[in-house]
Amino acid sequence: MRIWLSKNSEVPVREQLATQIVLGIVSQDLKPGQRLPSTRELARRFSIHSNTVSAAYRDLAGRGWVELRRGSGIYVREHPGDGHPPGEGAELDQLISAFLQTARARGYSLRDIQARVRHLLELQPPDHFLVIETEEELREILVTEIQEATGFRVSGTGPEACADGAALAGALAVALHNQAGERVRASLPPGAPCLLLHSRSVPATLQGQEPPAPDALVAVVSCWPGFLRWARTMLVAAGLEPEAISARDARARGWQRGLRSAAFVITDTVTAARLPAGCDARVFRLIADHSIAELRSFVEQQKL
Answer yes or no: do 175 and 253 share one domain. no
Residue 7 lies in a domain: no
pLDDT of residue 23: 77
Q: In what order do the strands lie in the sheet with 218-222?
A: 245-249, 218-222, 264-267, 281-283
Answer yes or no: do 143 and 118 share one domain. no
pLDDT of residue 203: 57
Residue 257 lies in a domain: yes
pTM over 0.85: no
| Beta-sheet strands, E only, within 82-135 | 128-132
Q: Are 197 and 187 in contact (CB under 8 A)?
A: no
Residue 143 lies in a domain: yes
Answer yes or no: do 32 and 102 share one domain. yes
Residue 5 lies in a domain: no
Which domain-ending residue is among 123, 140, 164?
Answer: 123
Concatenate the DSSP letters of all residues of 27-95 into one string. TTSS-TTPEEPPHHHHHHHHT--HHHHHHHHHHHHHTTSEEEETTTEEEEPP-STTSS-SSTTHHHHHH
Residue 8 lies in a domain: no
Which residues span the domain enclosing 219? 202-283
Answer yes or no: do 184 and 238 share one domain. no
Which domain-ending residue is among 123, 138, 156?
Answer: 123
Distance CA 64, CA 87 (A): 10
Q: What CATH number does residue 35 fall under?
A: 1.10.10.10
Residue 226 lies in a domain: yes
Residue 18 lies in a domain: yes
Distance CA 132, CA 143 (A): 10
pLDDT of residue 209: 66
Answer yes or no: do 118 and 209 share one domain. no
Answer yes or no: do 181 and 296 share one domain. yes
Q: pLDDT tens, position by position, for the chain (304 residues)?
A: 678 787 876 678 888 888 888 878 877 788 889 999 999 999 999 999 999 999 999 989 888 889 999 888 999 987 644 444 444 566 677 677 778 878 887 888 888 888 888 788 777 789 999 999 999 999 999 999 999 999 999 999 998 888 767 788 889 999 998 756 667 777 788 778 889 999 886 556 656 666 667 677 899 999 999 999 988 887 887 777 888 899 999 999 999 999 999 988 999 999 999 999 999 998 999 999 999 999 999 999 887 5
Buried b / exposed e along 97-118 (16+ C-beta atoms within 10 A) = beebeebbeeeeebeebbeebe
Residue 2 lies in a domain: no
Which domain-ending residue is among 123, 151, 169?
Answer: 123
Answer yes or no: do 278 and 221 share one domain. yes
Answer yes or no: do 206 and 196 share one domain. no
In the chain, the number of structural domains is: 3
Answer yes or no: do 21 and 170 share one domain. no
Q: What CATH number does residue 224 fall under?
A: 3.40.50.10190
Answer yes or no: do 158 and 299 share one domain. yes
Distance CA 198, CA 175 (A): 9
Answer yes or no: do 26 and 102 share one domain. yes
Answer yes or no: do 66 and 100 share one domain. yes
